[in-house]
Structure 1
Amino acid sequence: MKICDLTQFYSPVSGGVKRYVSEKVRYIREQTERDEHVLIIPGERDEVIASDRARVYTVKSPLISRTSRYRVLLRLEAVEAILMRECPDLIESGDPYQVAWKAVYSGTALRIPVVGFYHSHFPEAYVRTARKYCGPLVTEMFMDFSRRYIRNLYNRFERTLVPSPALGDLLASWGVRNLAHTDLGVHTAVFHPKAFPDEDVRAEFGIPRDRTLLLYVGRLAQEKNTQTLFAAFRELTARHPQRFHLFVVGDGLQRAELLALQHDTSAVTWLDYCAEAPRLATLYRGADLFVHPGVQETFGLVTLEAQACGTPVIGIRGSYMDRIIHSDQTLWARENSPAALATAIEQMSCEDLSKTGARASRRVAAQYSWTQIFVRMFSLYGEVVRNYAPRS
């Protein structure tokens, strides 16, 4: 079977979607004999890079963010030319904008089944902005438009993959049919709690050994709620000077806020990106506590990776991410506020973090290896291909 992933949510410094695709390619190479993979993404130039049973096509596209390095794929005729050349057995669309519509129309024209992966619950960010600036009437109008848009687009796919049952229930209530739940996973040979002898994150970055080391990995953006994390850390350092240190891996539009926090507290270490999974695993293992402030995550892959490495997670209750937290959430913040998150971190840091992290690591390893995830996913792909009835 030849599978083609088509997405705009991909850049040299992107996170979850890029990891998902790269792990799918690894699974094809290591666990299958004849399957192939094609990836179509926006890039700096038109290019194709071929390797063992995998090809990556980049379509020259304009840059829309210098921090995230995301590009907008506008040359849709180039996408169709690649699909015609490759003739995949199945197309998977990974974003909800113009590329998704192109996947649907090209799939119909070429008689190729198309599935959509609902990676991001994008209406949340827009609704929050509308609520803040436009009031309840405009907010409700936008929500109505979002529901109709999502229903109209995703009902055109043979299946809509969702990484959370609760998110699937929401989309079903909006009228989306053919939903299929699939978890994301972890590369358990890389993300595990056993540290290597030369690993010493504190010594490498000059972090005092008497500090509780907090770690955040992800974009610095409104939709990731990093402003709440930064404000919570300010409050923590005011309550307990010299007790906590924050390590941030990621970049984005809130970089200035992070740099101000670093300057004001002298207790922040920042890496704009970490490309290598083993290096990221070292950072997870080096932290005492992983902090995830997100309230609109569809899955929360970094929280799974942190737990796989034996590092417990603290955050804000009530997101789709709650179901993959494999430790007690009693101490998690119950509201999205800096004070609540600061208190949650403060209280969690007093627990036996090693014991909590070890328990979570065992559970993640048992349930979320990428091999388990892709065995189920490829079975679904096969079912879609076998049952596909081209629309006239």
Structure 2
Amino acid sequence: MKLCDLTQFYSPLSGGVKRYVHEKIAYIQSETEHQHVLVVPGPKTECVTSERSRIYFIHSPLISRTSHYRALVNLRAIEQILEREKPDLIESGDPYQVAWKAIASGEALRIPVVGFYHSHFPEAYVRSAAKLLGQTAGEAMMDFTHRYVRNLYNSFQATLVPSAHLGSLLTDWGVGNVRTVNLGVNTTVFSPSPDDTAATRAELELPASRRLLLYVGRLAKEKNTRLLFRSFATLTENAPEDFHLLVIGDGPERSALEDLRARCPNVTWMRYCTDSSDLARYYRAADLFVHPGTQETFGLVALESQACGTPVVGIRGSYMDRIILHDQESWADEETPESLARTIEAACSRNLPRLGARASRLAEERLSWPRVFERLFVIYQDVSLNYKR
């Protein structure tokens, strides 16, 4: 099989979707005889070849100087690549113009196309805008968005979702082809060993008594990072010497982080960490990973943290629940800074190493990438066999 992934959710500074497609490439090259083609935006048009994999970068305008995301607007270039490569199956990781081009090219070339619902954009982006329009206009905007999702994803041969809960929601909206797939984690890189916690904490100049909280991801509204920063400010008001926050990531809410750092000296910021082995060190060194988002659908960072033996805390009722491998006894009941701050304090009173060890063991047993991709390729084969050419 020759598989083609199309997405514009791709940044050189990493990100969940980028890690997903590159782990898939690694699996294909090491465990199968399949071929892989990846089409993504880039600073210039070029093709990078490695064994049975080709990555096509299409010159695209920059839309974020902090995260380096680009808008893939040259749809003709996508069409030409697909005509030349003639893959057996196309996976679109995009809910916008790239998705419609994938569907149109698939129909023209008689190639099945599946869509991966990576981003729950109606809640992450549209609902907050709809609130500004008043109840009637806001409800009309959300209704339009639901119809857009239904029309787009019913045009695929299958819609892949990383959560049964999210799949049920899409089914309620009228999407009739939902297939649930698990997320995975590279348990070779993200693991509790080696025991380098002391060295990493020394690098961060942390006293032994201070709890290290970690956040990894974009600094953006949809990630709820302002809530995290306000929560940490509340923590340090109550106990200024007890906690340290390490933030790895950049984005449009950088100014909010800078304000926090101006008020709280016990905050460390790293703009990005592109080396997975280095990132694993920071996961292992942390006492607790804080995930403030409520609309997250992918959540690879939460899996990576647990695989390294570091428990996760967040807000109850999100789509993250299905990938938390330890109990959520200490999770926040309310989406407020005060509730999240209380939650962090409560979690730190528990036996965090024991929670983390259990989560790491389950990640290894259930969610290593080879296990996940074995199941995903069964779906690919089923879609291909049932496609009417």
- Name the TM-score, length of structure 1 as normaliser: 0.97
Whichever residue aligns with residue 342 of structure 1, its letter is A
For structure 1, the residue ranges without an aligned partner over 5 or more in a row are: none
Report SS of the residue matched to 1:49: strand
| One-letter code aligned to 1:113 | P
* SS of the residue 1:278 aligns to: helix
Aligned-partner SS, 1:297: coil
The residue correspondences of 1:191-210 to structure 2 (distance < 5 A) are 191-196=190-195, 200-210=199-209
Match of 1:126 in 2: 125
The more displaced of 322-331 and 173-182 is 322-331
> What secondary structure sits across from 1:200 in the alignment?
helix
Measured after TM superposition, the shift of residue 177 of structure 1 is: 1.1
Give the Cα separation in 2 of the matches to 1:86 and 1:25: 16
Gaps of 5+ in 2: none
Equivalent residue, structure 2, for 1:24: 24
Superposed CA deviations along residues 120-167 of structure 1, whole A, max 9, x for unmatched, are 000112333234422221221111001110111111101000000010
2:35 paired with 1:36: yes
* Paired position in structure 2 for 1:325: 324
Q: Distance in 2 between matches of 1:357 and 1:298?
A: 22
**Structure 1 Cα separation of the partners of residues 11 and 44 of structure 2:** 13
Alignment of 1:76-95 (within 5 A): 76-95=75-94
1:378 is aligned to 2:365: no
Tell me the CA shift for residue 199 of structure 1.
6.4
Provide the residue aligned with 1:48 in structure 2.
47
Superposed, 1:243-262 pairs within 5 Å as: 243-262=242-261
Alpha-carbon offset, residue 382 of structure 1: 1.2
- Kindly state the Cα deviation for residue 83 of structure 1 after the two structures are TM-superposed: 0.5
Alpha-carbon distance in structure 1 between the residues aligned to 2:48 and 2:129: 42
Q: How far 1:50 moved relative to its partner? A: 0.5
In the alignment, the residues of structure 2 paired with residue 8 and residue 330 of structure 1 have an alpha-carbon distance, to the nearest angstrom, of 37
Q: 1:95·1:119 contact (CA, 8 Å) conserved in 2?
A: yes
Q: Which residue of 1 aligns with 2:3?
A: 3
Corresponding residue number in structure 2 for 1:348: 347
Structure 1 CA distance, aligned partners of 2:197 and 2:219? 30
Separation of aligned partners in 2, 1:307 and 1:197:
16
Matched letter for residue 287 of structure 1: A
Aligned to 2:103: 104
Q: 1:298 to 1:264 in 2, by over 3 A?
A: same
Per-residue deviation at 1:196?
Answer: 4.5
Give the whole-Å Cα distance in 1 for the aligned partners of 2:301 and 2:5: 22
Structure 2-normalised TM-score?
Answer: 0.98
Aligned-partner Cα distance in 1 for 2:99–2:126: 21
Moved more, 197-206 or 328-337: 197-206
Give, in whole Å, the separation in 2 of the partners of 1:102 and 1:302.
30
Offset of residue 326 of structure 1: 1.7
Counterpart-to-counterpart distance in 1, 2:101 and 2:49: 24
SS of aligned partner of 1:227: helix
Aligned-CA RMSD value: 1.1
Pair 1:52–1:199, CA change in 2 (3 A): farther
Question: Which shows bigger deviation, 138-147 or 214-223?
Answer: 138-147
Cα distance in 2, alignment partners of residues 198 and 167 from structure 1 = 36
Whole-Å Cα distance in 2 between the matches of residues 123 and 323 of structure 1?
20
Indicate the SS of the match to 1:340: helix
- Deviations 1:324-359 (Å, cap 9, x if unpaired)? 112221211101000000000011111111111111
Corresponding residue of 1:72: 71
2:136 paired with 1:137: yes
Asked if the contact 1:127/1:139 (under 8 Å) is kept, the reply is no
CA distance in 2, matches of 1:267, 1:370: 36
Q: Distance in 2 between matches of 1:377 and 1:197?
A: 34
**Equivalent position amino acid for 1:267 in 2:** N
The Cα shift of 1:361 comes to: 1.0
Between 1:192-201 and 1:216-225, the stretch displaced more is: 192-201
Identity, % of aligned positions: 59
Cα displacement (A) at 1:197: 5.1
- Give me the whole-angstrom Cα distance separating, in 2, the residues matched to 1:139 and 1:365: 44
